[in-house]
Chains A and B, each alone.
Chain A
């Protein structure tokens, strides 16, 4: 499959444990954020989103936390499974223009250990 990033930060977790993936975003004017999961050979897959008027949003086994004060976003995955192994990206969208021009973070590789 495609090489997403040769020197990505890597997070290794035991199967069944919770994972926390962090992202520092750059634009204090960003008002919309998305977390994506990318498996080898595939395009990024939408996981969950959050708008800047929220601090927390929950999905199925995932929770996104937003701290606007320090421009920090995190993705929590509960009961991590082998199928969660992938590269995870955060993407931010500025409030200063219309449209879908997202800025992506460098990504974090999640490795789930048996």
Chain B
């Protein structure tokens, strides 16, 4: 079974621009979560999508948004990029069920975003 895939792997953007990152979950997984990883803050939860609906949200500004499509693929968007948005953005998928607690979660390789 193919793992979680993320595109692009590397991206360089300028302050003020916007960016869209894509994630394809493991086949059959309906939950997709996004995390930001930086040396200073570690791994931080951004949001989770399940069946095309945002199910959970972390403490990030509204410039960070996402969506999920009917095939469970997900995108996240960051508008008005700031230097501090430079990070590794990780997507994780799981075979979560509606109304269920935590389940095994598998990560993709990440997208390295550099904002200059």
Q: Do A and B come from one complex?
A: yes
State the main secondary structure of chain A at its contact with B: loop
Which residue of chain B has its CB nearest to the CB of A42? Answer: B109
Q: Is the CB of B99 within 8 A of A46?
A: no
- A residues 1-44 in Cβ contact with B at 8 Å: 2-6, 31-32, 34, 36, 41-44
Chain A residues with CB under 8 Å of B94's CB are: 100
Q: How far is the CB of A47 from chain B (nearest CB, A)?
A: 11
Q: Is the CB of A43 within 8 A of B96?
A: no
The listed residue with most A CB atoms (<10 A of its CB), out of B4, B55, B56, B105, is B105
Which residue of chain B has its CB nearest to the CB of A101? Answer: B56
Chain A residues touching B, range: 20 to 34
Q: Is the CB of B105 within 8 A of A43?
A: no
| Stretch touching chain A among B12-20, B42-50, B67-75 | B42-50
Q: Is the CB of A32 within 8 A of B43?
A: no
Q: How far is the CB of B56 from chain A (nearest CB, A)?
A: 4
Which residue of chain B has its CB nearest to the CB of A89? Answer: B43
Q: Is A49 an interface residue (CB 8 A)?
A: yes
Q: Is the CB of A5 within 8 A of B42?
A: yes
Q: Is the CB of B102 within 8 A of A93?
A: yes
Q: A46-B106, A100-B48, A100-B96 are in contact. List 7 more A-B contacts (CB 8 A).
A: A3-B39, A5-B39, A32-B102, A41-B109, A91-B43, A99-B96, A102-B33
26 cross-chain CB contacts under 8 A: A4-B37, A4-B39, A5-B42, A34-B105, A42-B110, A43-B109, A44-B43, A44-B107, A46-B105, A46-B106, A91-B105, A95-B101, A98-B55, A98-B99, A98-B101, A99-B56, A101-B33, A102-B33, A102-B102, A104-B42, A104-B43, A104-B44, A104-B45, A105-B42, A106-B42, A107-B42
Q: Which residues of B contact A (CB under 8 A)?
A: 4, 31, 33, 35, 37, 39, 42-45, 48, 50, 55-56, 58, 88, 90, 92, 94, 96, 98-110, 112
